[in-house]
Structures are given as C-alpha cells and as structure tokens.
Chain A
Amino acid sequence: MRRGTLQYCVLALLADEERYGFNLVRALAETNGMVTSEGTIYPLLSRLRRDGLVESTWQESPSGPPRRYYRLTEAGRTSLKGFRLEWSRFRDAVDHFVERKARS
C-alpha cells in the first residue's frame, strides 16, 4: 500500500512548489516510514515524468551546478485531486472498522 500511495505523496509535495530531486527526496525521507532507500524515488520520478504527471526544467543553483526542478503538470494535478477524494473515502471506511474495534 505504501508503494502504491508513494506516487501521490510525491505529487502532493509538488502541488504547491517546484522542487529539485535532492530536496524532494529529503522531504519524503524526513517523514518516518515513507522511504527506506532514497534512491528508489528516482525510478518513480522518471516514471511520473514519462506518464506526463510531472515535468522537469533546469535552473541555475546559487551553489554548484544547475538543478533539475520538478513540477506538476495539469494531468498531475487532476490525478492528485482524484486520489485525494478516493483516499479520504477509503480512510473513512477503514477507520469505520478499525477504530470501532479499538473503542470497544
């Protein structure tokens, strides 16, 4: 499940601002339990770009070589919106059973 939802976490991180690879990967890795090997995010990013959900541009960096920045495309935004809806329904449904068990 973690693997299937990871791509939406990436899309969500890119929803408000564009980020370069290192920064994006660090943001994901900082939240416990999301990513164990940071390098495995890159195949996902590559896949998302190929599917047209994100796009990348090169930008100069204040320190060091230029960076590749990722941002959401329109298709990416639509995909994220769809997932948010589906996820909140799914979460409520799971909570309905799991949380009730915990209360009783």
Chain B
Amino acid sequence: MNSTADQLVGDYVKRLRRELAGLPRERRRELEQEISEHIAEGRVTLSAQNEAEIRTLLDHIGEPAEIAAEARERFGVQAKKSGWKEVGALVLLPIGGVILPVLGWFIGVALLWISDAWSTRDKLIGTLVVPGGLLLPLSLGVFGTGASGCSTVVGTECPPDSGGSVAWQIALLVVLFVVPLVTTVYLAQRRRPVAAAA
C-alpha cells in the first residue's frame, strides 16, 4: 500500500522535474523542493495514505505543466522550443554524417546531449536509432547495390537467386532510410521548452 503511494508521489515529482526543465536551475530546485515538502506535509497532516487520498492530494496541487507555466510567467522566462542546439541536433543527426562524413553526425550527437530539451531516454533513442543517420543507407545504396548490381550492368552474370536478395536489400535500405527520419520527427515532437537565452 505504502509503496503504491510512494510510487505515485515519485511519478508526480518526476513529471514536475521534467516540466520545470526550462527554468533557471536555482528556481527549479527551489520549486521542486517546496512542492515535495508540500506533499510530505499533506501526507502527514491529512494522513493521506491510500492511493485515492494521495491522488486527491496531488490533484489539488495541480498538473505539473500548469505549475511550470505559472513559474515561467512569474519569472519572466519564455518558453522557447528551438535554440541553435536543438535545431542543430535535429538537422545533423539525420544528414550531418552525409554533409560532413561521419564527423557531422558526431556533432549532432554532441548537440543532442548538451541540450536541455530532451530527457536522457530520448537522447539515447536519438543516438542509437540509427548511428550515422542517413549516412549508412546512403553509402549502402551507392556502394552496396553498385557492387551487387549485376542485373543492371550488361554482360555481368547474376547468381540464380539474386532477384530475391536484391529485393531484401532494397527493403533493408528503405527501412534504414525511414527509421532515422522517424527518429528525427519523434525528437522534434518530444522537445520540451528550454529557457530563452535572454
């Protein structure tokens, strides 16, 4: 019973932390601490122990997004979704490795990790799906099919089962093309407000 309550509170504080990410660190820490104190005080004062009582307590405190919006307004922090780091990461992750071979993608990864706009989980997804971005399918497309593209070159002999394997290669290429683009769209949507530079 108590562990469910702790988990509810833990989830709430985690969501709050995520929403407050755009604020200056000091303000963020202060708010997180005070609201945690409020929850702790509420649990003692109202003897909120079961799940329903904890949920009521958290409902009264309100949605983390609402608290964060209020905080941004009170502190005069503007929600800004695309600083140069975020735009750079979103551009360089898929095509950086193509423009500036390999290195461009690493710059994209660096920007992704220094930005405050994504959670660690999203940063891992951005890095691992797919390393190199479009560099891998493009180089496979150029060199890979060039090497095995016997059917397109007059005079070369194809192994008997090449039709099937070419189809597989094309399918793989399409997947390798699409997945980094899906990741980019995902990251663009998962961006959370970061503090304006001003």
Q: B45 to A38, Cβ gap below 8 A?
A: no
A13–B60 alpha-carbon span in the complex (Å) = 20
Chain B interface residue count, Cβ-Cβ cutoff 8 angstroms: 24
Please tell me which stretch of B68-76, B80-88, B135-143, B182-190 contacts chain A, meaning at least 4 of its Cβ atoms lie within 8 angstroms of it. B68-76
Please determine whether A37 and B75 come into contact, CB atoms closer than 8 angstroms. no
Q: How far is the CB of B37 from chain A (nearest CB, A)?
A: 6
Known contacts A39-B61, A46-B30; is A68 also within 8 Å of B67 by CB? Answer: no
Q: Are A46's CB and B62's CB within 8 A?
A: no
Question: What total of A-B pairs shows CB separation below 8 Å?
Answer: 70
- Cα A22 to Cα B44 in complex, Å, equals 11
B40 vs chain A, min Cβ distance (A): 7
Chain B at the A interface: SS class: helix
Whether A47 contacts B75 in the complex (CB less than 8 A), given A37-B66, A38-B61, comes out as: yes
**Quick check: A40 and B67 within 8 Å, CB to CB?**
yes
Q: Is A36 an interface residue (CB 8 A)?
A: yes
A44 partner, pick from B38, B62, B74, beta carbons under 8 A: B74
B41 in the interface (beta carbon within 8 A): yes
User: Is A20 positioned at the interface, with any CB of B under 8 Å from its CB?
Assistant: yes
With A21-B41, A22-B45, A64-B44 already in contact, the answer to whether A42 and B62 are too (CB < 8 A) is no
**A30-46 near B? 1/0 per residue, CB < 8 Å:** 00000011111011111
User: How far is A20 from B35 in the complex, measured between Cα atoms in Å?
Assistant: 12
Per-position 1/0 for A9-20, Cβ under 8 A of B: 000000000001
The CA-CA distance from A65 to B45 in the complex, in Å, is: 12
Whether A77 sits at the interface, judged by CB under 8 Å, is no
* Number of residues on chain A facing chain B (CB within 8 A): 21
> Could you say which residues of chain B place their CB within 8 Å of the CB of A25?
38
Q: Which residues of A contact B64 (CB under 8 A)?
A: 39
Q: Do B31 and A37 touch across chains, with their CB atoms under 8 A apart?
A: no
Interface string of B34-64 (1 = CB under 8 A from A): 1101101110110000000000000011111
Are the CB atoms of B67 and A37 closer together than 8 Å?
A: yes
CA separation between A20 and B19, bound complex, in Å?
A: 25
C-alpha spacing A25/B66, complex, angstroms: 16
**Given contacts A37-B60, A64-B40, A64-B41, could you give 8 more A-B pairs where the C-beta distance is less than 8 Å?**
A21-B34, A22-B37, A29-B60, A37-B63, A39-B35, A40-B70, A47-B74, A63-B44
Q: Which 8 A-B pairs have the closest CB atoms?
A: A37-B62, A43-B71, A22-B41, A39-B61, A40-B70, A39-B67, A43-B74, A47-B74
User: 19 interchain pairs (CB within 8 A)?
Assistant: A25-B38, A37-B60, A37-B70, A38-B38, A39-B38, A39-B62, A39-B64, A40-B62, A40-B66, A43-B70, A43-B75, A44-B74, A45-B34, A46-B31, A64-B40, A65-B40, A67-B37, A67-B41, A68-B37
